[in-house]
Amino acid sequence: MASQDWFDKDFYKVLGVSKDVSEAELKKVYRKLAREFHPDSNQGNAKAEAKFKEISEAYSVLSDKEQRAEYDQIRAMGSGARFSAGGPQGGFDDAFSGFGRGGQQFNFQQGGGFEDIFGGMFGGGGGGRFGQSSGGFRGFGGPQKGQDIVSSVTIDFFEAFHGDTMSLQTSEGRTVKVKIPAGVADAQKIRLRGKGYPSPDGGEAGDIVLTVKVKKHPVFDRDGLNIKVNVPVTFVEAALGATIEVPTPDGETVKLKVAPGTPSGRSLRVKGRGIKTAKGTGDLLAVVQIAVPSHLDNEAKEALEKFAAVAPTESPRADLLSDAKR
């Protein structure tokens, strides 16, 4: 939203940049100035606080493509003109003498006040008046909200599982405490309302929008609210059955029974030992992986050969081969 005093304020000069400054350079300059004049770094310094508000307002306008274009248009049109009570110099006619027909100038009377002119030029119709949000200059429909700060934070698997509270520092040097909820997912966004950039005109501050990145764990893998863990078992354990110990993300171990004849890839479920959130609790899925020994001594080879001689003769790939021909 534009402001009536855009005619008087040179935002480029405030930030010390040229009118063709790039977005990247504009952001770099603003961050440097914000750190220098931020109230937290200049406590009790009224001039620094005023300067901080001034540069925040300038950046808020120039960093927004639409507002910047509108601001440039208004500044170019104004060319130093001022609104006054009238007269041959310094009146409304100075700023709008080019908008008449055949050199005729507008007279601002009750039936055609300057809200009509601005409503048509900037408000998109509707006869919006100054002080209303339906049209006219930006800023007159109420205070403008400050810009959001968009950032990211990387945490490990257990911080995501249990939740955590951490302190982050903004580009202006402010320290913000962030509560990471238990069970937060990778790429999940956390919004901290009112912790972003301040409003340029006394309105509500912007937010901090934080994207959480969760590091991969070498053992545990998240699948929705469930947690998967691959559990190696020996051929003998899978064939004859066994009781095995399995780790859980909360640091404990649980004992699971492997039934005789359990194939590789079967999941053994442990209820309620997965991700815990306000929306629900997942399970721990122990996925059986049959470990094949990489080395056998002669005695083991002889025993295995004897087993092969008496083992069932049907091929475990019979169904696979027949299904592939369908």
How far apart CA 255 and CA 264 sit, in angstroms, is: 18
**Tell me, what CATH number does 21's domain have?**
1.10.287.110
Q: Is residue 289 over pLDDT 90? A: yes
Domain final position from 214, 249, 266: 214
- Extract the runs of DSSP E, i.e. beta strands, from the chain: 149-155, 164-169, 175-180, 189-192, 208-214, 220-223, 226-234, 242-247, 253-258, 267-270, 276-277, 280-281, 284-291
What backbone torsions phi and psi does residue 230 show, to the nearest 5 degrees?
-80, 125
How sure is the predictor about 130, in pLDDT bands with cuts at 50, 70 and 90?
very low
In this structure, are 37 and 97 located in the same domain?
yes
Asked if residue 262 belongs to a domain, the reply is yes
Q: Do 110 and 54 share a structural domain? A: yes
Question: With 90 as the cut, is the pLDDT of residue 288 above it?
Answer: yes
187 and 209 housed in the same domain: yes
Q: Tell me which of 123, 140, 169 is where a domain ends.
A: 123
**Range 44-50 contact pairs with CB under 8 angstroms and sequence separation of 24 or more:** none
Same domain assignment for residues 118 and 10: yes
Q: Please tell me the pTM assigned to this model.
A: 0.55
Count the domains in the chain.
3
Mean pLDDT of 31-59: 86
288 in Cβ contact with 262 (< 8 Å): yes
Residues 295 and 229 both lie in one domain = yes
Let me know whether 258 and 275 are in one domain: yes
Residue 240 lies in a domain: yes
Query: Residue 162 has what pLDDT?
Result: 95
Shared domain for 71 and 177, answered yes or no, is no
307, part of any domain: yes
Looking at 174, 192, 214, which one is the last position of a domain? 214
The reply to whether 232 and 200 lie within a common domain is: no
- Which residue range is the domain that position 244 belongs to? 220-323
What pLDDT was estimated at residue 240?
Answer: 94
d(CA 80, CA 7): 7
186 & 204 share domain: yes
Note whether 20 and 92 are same-domain residues: yes
Same domain, 247 and 274: yes
Residue 173 lies in a domain: yes
84 within a domain of the structure (yes/no): yes
Q: What is the CATH number of the domain that holds 167?
A: 2.60.260.20
In the structure, what pLDDT confidence band is assigned to residue 15 with cuts at 50, 70 and 90? very high
User: Quick one: pLDDT at residue 81?
Assistant: 41
State whether 209 and 254 are in the same domain. Answer: no
Residue 109 in domain: yes
Backbone phi and psi for residue 311, each to the nearest 5 degrees, phi listed first: -75, 160
Q: In whole angstroms, give the CA distance from residue 168 to residue 211.
A: 13
**132 found inside a domain:** no
Distances (CA, A) of 240 to 259, 297, 315: 7, 22, 20
Q: How far is the C-alpha of 299 from the C-alpha of 306, rounded, in Å?
A: 11
What pLDDT score does 3 carry? Answer: 53
3-class DSSP string for 126-156: CCCCCCCCCCCCCCCCCCCCCCCEEEEEEEC
pLDDT at 312: 81
Most confident of 47-51, 78-82, 144-148, 208-212: 208-212
Structure token pair of residue 130: 């100054």
Tell me, yes or no, whether 134 lies in a domain: no
